[in-house]
Amino acid sequence: MSHTALPVHPITFSTHPDTVGLVRHASGAVSLSPARHRACLEAAWEIEALARLLPDLALRDDDALPLQVRGVARRLGDLAGAVMSGLDDGVVMDKDVPHRSGGGAARCSV
> So where are the chain's domains?
32-100
Question: Could you give phi then psi for residue 17, rounded to 5 degrees?
Answer: -70, -15
- Position 7 scores a pLDDT of 52
pLDDT tens per residue across all 110 residues of the chain: 555 555 555 445 555 555 678 888 888 888 888 888 888 999 999 999 999 999 988 888 899 999 999 999 999 999 998 898 888 887 788 777 766 666 554 433 33
- Position 110 scores a pLDDT of 30
The sign of the torsion formed by the CA atoms of 80, 83, 88, 91 equals positive
Query: Is the pTM above the cut of 0.85?
Result: no
- Position 99 scores a pLDDT of 62
